A and B are shown apart, each in its own frame.
Chain A
């Protein structure tokens, strides 16, 4: 069963710069899908269009048949998602616990329930109780990523989105976070869409991936088949991800 459908999505900015030029893609229910692409190719814009933060110029995005374009469906539409932002996007003015509780409070849970769920999720992502009452600026990037993941999963979304999940982290912390993300997704059994430029992250998180280039999805398939898919850009992307010396100009 298809969960997310991108139908010929176009998006350009005020200076007529065309970012998305007919993106079409289907993501199945409970599938873990990764969209790969070079930096600046429009991956984050695609994600923001999916969330309705940016409006698509033409085409449509459907999640369980609900359209991103229909305002009357927006409340039900947006409730399906949760996202782990590239920069974590934790609220500076709230403690780590407060950040997780805040999301829960919006779905009409009572205070003590919010508190216990928040603590449970924070512990589940491997955070120590001692940091619950600290502010985001007082903890490391890896801890912030965990806290942001706790906030994202606490509201029990149907679709979990990861925007460059290992961006800005050292290789060891990246590995730890990747394991945490994969374990979380496996445990929750929900649809997951990740965007990244890092093929190793894609290979680790999912079997299925797509390549976004020049504003369109140019390839979709099994990640391990990328090496010999016949598309010059995709094969070049694969080689570049494994050794920068093998890139053709």
Chain B
């Protein structure tokens, strides 16, 4: 506990409420007391609400995972989702990676020139792309594109009672709607990230060879010699986790969409925001796990 808070902070945390209580007691301050009660109550309400939300989505994710491994399996629906999530996201992910690699090479050149390390541009570009930029940019782009789309689609199915209709036709909505999206997300994001890595490195090479006087041969040699298998694998593992979170948040918010057009719109927005935040948080967590920091 003391590792997280220093001594002064802890003292302040204990002393401040006590001080407020004493002040309210001395001045018989009903207003102060009530303000503090309200403050504590609202903190409590938000905390409980947040915990409830986390609990609900964890339970939903666990049910989603379970439904991926239990028959019946909807292969056609899964293939459709792989095409929608993976194939149709290729252009936007490719473009993002291309520009990210190009900008990275330029910025590295500017920075490295200050201490005569221009020769390391290729290494930095490939390591940055495979470890961080490829997975995160691809994840964020797919989250923006697909999380909202999944939430809106399932939300409108909820509003128009199509999900209820599935139940009455003896179909488990989790197996029919959620499982194919989770499988598609987990399978296609690593493939997209692999493509993004290659295109990003290519972008860096284009800038380095056309503007920064690198030769293609030396750039490629430097890229390959400094790349480790773990760099690529960690990025792909991250991508699988991001794919899962995109599908999960999209489905969860779609399933729990409020009725009406506004409710569907809100669920789409919330799905994008929450999956983007989850991607950034997971990225930090997985980086710490993979590289032992």
A interface list, Cβ under 8 A from B: 48, 51-53, 75, 78-79, 81-83, 85-87, 89-92, 102-103, 106-107, 151, 155
Is B170 positioned at the interface, with any CB of A under 8 Å from its CB? yes
Judging by beta carbons under 8 Å apart, are A89 and B170 in contact?
A: no
Closest-by-CB residue of B relative to A83 is B168
Can you list 12 contacts pairing A with B, beta carbon distance less than 8 Å? A51-B167, A51-B168, A78-B170, A83-B165, A85-B165, A86-B161, A89-B161, A89-B162, A89-B165, A92-B162, A106-B171, A155-B170
Contact in complex: A87, B160 (CB < 8 Å): yes
Nearest 6 pairs of A and B residues by beta carbon = A89-B165, A89-B161, A103-B169, A106-B170, A85-B161, A83-B168
Q: A86-B161, A91-B162 are in contact. Are A78 and B171 (CB under 8 A)?
A: no
Report A37 CB to chain B, min CB distance, Å. Answer: 19
Task: Give the shortest distance, in Å, between B292 (CB) and chain A (any CB).
Answer: 45
Residues of A within 8 A of B160 (CB): 87, 89, 92
- The answer to whether A107 touches B161 (Cβ under 8 A) is no
Task: List, in ascending order, chain A residues with CB within 8 A of B170's CB.
Answer: 75, 78-79, 106-107, 155
With a cutoff of 8 Å between Cβ atoms, the chain B residues found around residue A91 in the complex are: 162, 165
* A14, chain B: closest CB distance, angstroms: 11
Q: At the interface, yes or no: B164 with Cβ under 8 Å from chain A?
A: yes
- Complexed CA–CA distance, A103 and B165 (Å): 10
In the complex, A81 Cα to B167 Cα: how many Å?
A: 10
Q: Which residues of A contact B171 (CB under 8 A)?
A: 106
Say how far B215's CB is from chain A's closest CB, in angstroms: 52
Q: Which residue of the partner chain, among A78, A86, A107, contacts B168 with CB atoms under 8 Å?
A: A78
Chain A positions within 8 Å of B168 at CB level: 51, 78, 81-83
Contacts of B165 in A (CB 8 A): 83, 85, 89-91
**Which residues of chain B come closer than 8 Å to A102, judged between CB atoms?**
169
Contact assessment for A78 and B167 in the assembled complex, using a CB-CB cutoff below 8 Å: yes
Asked if A155 and B169 sit within 8 Å, CB to CB, the answer is yes
- Measured in the bound complex, the distance between the Cα atoms of B169 and A79 in whole Å is 8
Docked pose: A146 CA to B167 CA in angstroms: 20
Interface string of B135-166 (1 = CB under 8 A from A): 00000000000000000000001001110110
Alpha-carbon gap, A73 to B242, bound state (A) = 38
Whole-angstrom distance from the CB of A50 to the nearest CB of chain B? 11
With both beta carbons as reference points, the residue of chain B lying nearest to A48 in the complex is identified as: B164
Cα–Cα, bound, A53→B160 (Å): 14
Instruction: Closest A residue to B80 by CB, please name it.
Output: A93
A77, B207: Cα distance in complex, Å? 66
What is the chain B residue whose CB lies nearest that of A161?
Answer: B168
Distance in angstroms between the alpha carbons of A53 and B168 in the assembled complex: 9
Q: Are B169 and A51 in contact (CB under 8 A)?
A: no
A106 lies within 8 A of B161 (CB)? no
B residues less than 8 Å from A52 (CB atoms): 167
* A86 CB contacts on chain B under 8 angstroms: 161
Chain B residue contacts of A81, Cβ below 8 A: 168
Minimal beta-carbon separation of B271 from chain A (angstroms): 19
